[in-house]
Amino acid sequence: MKVAYWPGCVSRGFAPELHGAMARVAPLFDIELVELDRAACCGAGVIAEHNQELADTLNARTFALAQQEIAKGADLMMNICSTCQGAQSECQERLDANTPYRDHVNETLSAEGLTYEKGITNKHFLWLLVEEIGLDEVRRRVKRPLKDLRVGPFYGCYIVRPTDRLGIDRSHPRDTYLHQLIDALGGTVVDYAGQYKCCGFPIITMNKEASLKQAGRHVGDAIDAEADCLVTPCPLCHLNLDLQQPAAAAAVGRPLNMPVLHLPQLLGLAMGLEPKELGMNKHVVKPSSVIDWSTSVVAGAPA
Amino acid sequence: MPEYTLRIRRYSPESGEAAHWDDFEIDLDGHRSVLDGILQAKDRQDGSIGIRCSCRAAICGSCGVRINGKPNLACHMHLDKACEDAPDGVIVVEPMGNMPVLKDLIVDMDAVHWKKMRRVTPWLLPDGDPPEREYIVAPESMIDITQTMACIQCGACVSDCLSMEVDPLFIGPAALAKAYRFVGDPRDGQHEERLRDLAEDPHGIYDCTHCFNCIEACPKGVAPMSQIMRLRRIASADHGIEDRNNGYRHEHAFVKNIEKNGLLHEADLLPDSYGGKFHPRAVPELVTSLPVILRALQRGKVTPAGALLHKHKASKEVKRIFRDVHDREERYELNLYVVGEEEDDNPPSMHADAAGSQLPAERSPNQ
Ligand code: SF4
Ligand code: SF4
Ligand code: SF4
Ligand code: SF4
Ligand code: FES
């Protein structure tokens, strides 16, 4: 399968291990990544907050660039960031719902010879795994089942709300895909209070205390539920849950020491890749509960 | 008659007993509401069940509860739908969150919801003397606030607001949506004062964590979060309000950052969000964020060069889009609540269903 690939900014900035892990994992599933390297940031909701039309135009441009790749044989557009998915779906909802508006936005794009045609398919890697590749196929390719590993799914906000915009319904229970994936990889799903809550990242510069309290509380809940690690589909969640975890621990007044994995990292481990090539050494909280570093074997699983 | 099981959370603070769950079997048609079920249980089995309700038609906003963990109006959710959503077929009904429980399913709306509502001065403050007769406004100038006017004060959004969960002082979704109802009203004369007040309050518009829970919760399509984003947009773009919570600076730093780099350059965003590396306010903030950046460097997440130098530059096409859109005389803001979704032959899909909902069909909880 060939995808027009939008890695987002954070996966190339403060969370480069995500982009790296994705590049390692893709060939194992015969996914060819055609990077949309001319596209701009999706705006993460902040550009839309500033000026809706600006966010819609920037994302229409990204979609138009992806559609050029699709015309050349890519199957669909794929991203690896919940925030990209949510922010882009929001813009797409407006662009697709109203022809005069779409024409107006396309008018701005026309100077560059680009046009967005209504109805692009843009899926987060998580959705692509479940809906395009299929969990049976994933299961078949597991080399090192995550046996005895207790994984807490952290969905966050942008990839699960609002449900209608994100196409979540009975036939597409996208709000359970992390659960299903952890299970397919042989791990144990740990449910905990904060799994669908906000990591607090959007207000880290505006109300640091409230922001860190959110991150700290969810990580604490996962500890209480006896998770070994968390997995998240969003690099921004990762920033608050991992990079900020020492500060979050201070904000909630309890020690936290919870490794947080990016989705392709968890997948890569089960596919037999080495923790180091998945960039897991780049995390602030060392994933030592997940990995036995001396043998690079998933905890608990026989070698 | 089909049978359903309701599992209701029971709690009376004055009894001194811990909260517990009671199961009730009810027999009603699947298209009857969860509220009908609760009332049947109350009528036939236990008259002491506490529930507040009045209109039974999704209009009065008194019957807000959590059904299977999600906030909704009890009268607006069909039993068959609730049963399908219930993990093991038992419909779980509990009181709303973020507000103290008075008894069973009744929460103290005064202590939280109405108090916050009063906080935003929810009445018109016109300039000058009132006109001799009524105010005359152009209909188009009011359309945009019809969305916030649809609010029935049920508190469902407040129940699940994630910022309020960690910061009980946060003004919250319902009250801020109400604030927009006046900031967007051409008759009101205090737009700037209202906005300044809400921007400067550390628990105001910049305390919303953009989690979409209120949009998901609202049975009337008010989308409180979208109204909060409008308040921010108007505060910052139209009134240039530079608040002490860094909301204005964060927004401007982010937008400039993308305009310049095309992709987000986080190492610059942090200081710029506090007013730039040399802004007096930035210094203490940067000192506290230093450990974060150092941790990132130490773990090899970023290289010193990556953190300090610009790897990317926005293409001239991206810069042009910023320029073109910023140069418009007016912001073009499409509101799908107002214009509706295009359907192939049908008019916009806004309609009122049997329960009085004004949601588009696809958002109705009963579809
Ligand atoms: S959501 Fe994040 S990673 Fe995705 S494009 Fe936007 S800023 Fe970049
Ligand atoms: S319609 Fe609304 S604004 Fe007008 S008088 Fe009634 S409550 Fe007040
Ligand atoms: S989006 Fe903002 S107001 Fe709405 S529930 Fe989340 S934090 Fe609260
Ligand atoms: S905004 Fe919606 S959920 Fe919130 S109080 Fe009003 S009607 Fe209820
Ligand atoms: S009883 Fe009036 S809204 Fe439910």
Q: Which residue has the tokens 């960031």?
A: A81
The 3 state secondary structure assigned to chain A is CEEEEECCCHHHCCCHHHHHHHHHHHHHHCCEEEECCCCCCCCCCHHHHHCHHHHHHHHHHHHHHHHHHHHCCCCEEEECCHHHHHHHHHHHHHHHHCHHHHHHHHHHHHCCCCCCCCCCCEEEHHHHHHHHHCHHHHHHHCCCCCCCCEEEECCCCCCCCCCCCCCCECCECHHHHHHHHHHHCCCEECCCCCCCCCCCHHHCCCCHHHHHHHHHHHHHHHHHCCCCEEEECCHHHHHHHHHCHHHHHHHHCCCCCCCEEEHHHHHHHHCCCCCCCCCHHHCCCCCCCCEECCCCEECCCCC
Question: Mean pLDDT throughout A30-54?
Answer: 94
pLDDT per residue as tens digits for the range B40-57: 999 999 999 999 999 999
Share of chain B above pLDDT 70, in %: 81
Domain locations in chain B as residue ranges = 3-107, 110-244+355-363, 247-327
Check residue B347 and give its pLDDT. 45
- Contact status of B4 with chain A (Cβ, < 8 Å): no
Check residue B311 and give its pLDDT. 59
Contact at 8 Å (CB) between A87 and A50?
A: no
Check residue B353 and give its pLDDT. 40
Check residue B95 and give its pLDDT. 98
- Does residue B232 surpass a pLDDT of 50? yes
Q: Is the ipTM of this complex over 0.85?
A: yes
Stronger pLDDT, B245 or B36, i.e. the higher one = B36
Among A44, A109, A164, select the one facing B362 at the smallest CB separation. A164
Question: Mean pLDDT throughout B133-137?
Answer: 89
Stronger pLDDT, A1 or A296, i.e. the higher one = A1
- Test the B interface: residue of A61, A191, A206, A219 with most B CBs within 10 Å: A206
Q: Which residue has the tokens 């020492």?
A: A246
> For B244, which residue in chain A has the nearest alpha carbon?
A206
Contacts of residue B274 in chain A, CB cutoff 8 Å? 205
- Does residue B351 surpass a pLDDT of 70? no
Contact at 8 Å (CB) between A157 and A86?
A: yes
Question: Mean pLDDT throughout B260-283?
Answer: 66
E strands, B100-148, are 101-103, 106-107
pLDDT per residue as tens digits for the range A56-78: 999 999 999 999 999 999 999 99
Stronger pLDDT, B294 or B12, i.e. the higher one = B12
Check residue B287 and give its pLDDT. 53
- Contact status of B227 with chain A (Cβ, < 8 Å): no
Least confident of A67-81, A194-208, B122-136, B282-296: B282-296
Q: What angle do CA B237, B318, B242 make, to 5 degrees?
A: 20
| Record: contact B216-A162, CB cut-off 8 A | yes
Contacts of residue A205 in chain B, CB cutoff 8 Å? 246, 250, 270, 273-274, 285
- Does residue B358 surpass a pLDDT of 90? no
- Does residue B284 surpass a pLDDT of 70? no
At B169, is the pLDDT very low, low, confident or very high (cuts 50, 70, 90)?
very high
Tell how far the Cα of A2 is from the centroid of ligand 2, in angstroms.
Answer: 56
- Test the B interface: residue of A51, A208, A245 with most B CBs within 10 Å: A51
- Does residue A13 surpass a pLDDT of 60? yes
- Does residue B350 surpass a pLDDT of 60? no
Q: What angle do CA B367, B44, B95 make, to 5 degrees?
A: 55
Mean pLDDT over all residues of chain B? 87
Tell how far the Cα of A82 is from the centroid of ligand 1, in angstroms.
Answer: 9
Closest chain B C-alpha to A162 CA, distance in angstroms = 5
A-proximal residues of B, 188-217, CB under 8 Å: 202-203, 206-213, 215-216
At B352, is the pLDDT very low, low, confident or very high (cuts 50, 70, 90)?
very low
Mean pLDDT over all residues of chain A? 93
- Does residue B367 surpass a pLDDT of 60? no
What's domain B110-244+355-363's superfamily in CATH?
Alpha-helical ferredoxin (1.10.1060.10)
Closest chain B C-alpha to A244 CA, distance in angstroms = 7
At B274, is the pLDDT very low, low, confident or very high (cuts 50, 70, 90)?
low
Check residue B70 and give its pLDDT. 96
Ligand 5 binding pocket includes B203 (Cβ within 6 Å):
no
- Test the B interface: residue of A91, A205, A234, A277 with most B CBs within 10 Å: A205
pLDDT per residue as tens digits for the range B297-342: 666 666 555 554 445 677 899 999 999 999 999 999 999 998 888 8
Ligand 5 binding pocket includes B219 (Cβ within 6 Å):
no
- Does residue B366 surpass a pLDDT of 80? no
CATH 3.40.50.1000 applies to domain B3-107: no
The DSSP H or E segment spanning B94 is strand B90-94
- Contact status of B263 with chain A (Cβ, < 8 Å): yes
Question: Mean pLDDT throughout A199-224?
Answer: 95
At A256, is the pLDDT very low, low, confident or very high (cuts 50, 70, 90)?
very high
Tell how far the Cα of B218 is from the centroid of ligand 4, in angstroms.
Answer: 5
pLDDT per residue as tens digits for the range A156-207: 999 999 999 999 999 999 999 999 999 999 999 999 999 999 999 999 989 9
| Record: contact B166-A217, CB cut-off 8 A | yes
| Record: contact B292-A111, CB cut-off 8 A | no
- Does residue B107 surpass a pLDDT of 80? yes
Question: Mean pLDDT throughout B87-97?
Answer: 95
Closest chain B C-alpha to A245 CA, distance in angstroms = 9
Check residue A128 and give its pLDDT. 98
Share of chain A above pLDDT 90, in %: 88
Nearest to A286 by CA among A229, A218, A221: A229
The residue whose CA is least distant from atom 3 of ligand 4 is: B218
Check residue B282 and give its pLDDT. 53
Contact at 8 Å (CB) between A22 and A80?
A: yes
- Does residue A294 surpass a pLDDT of 80? no
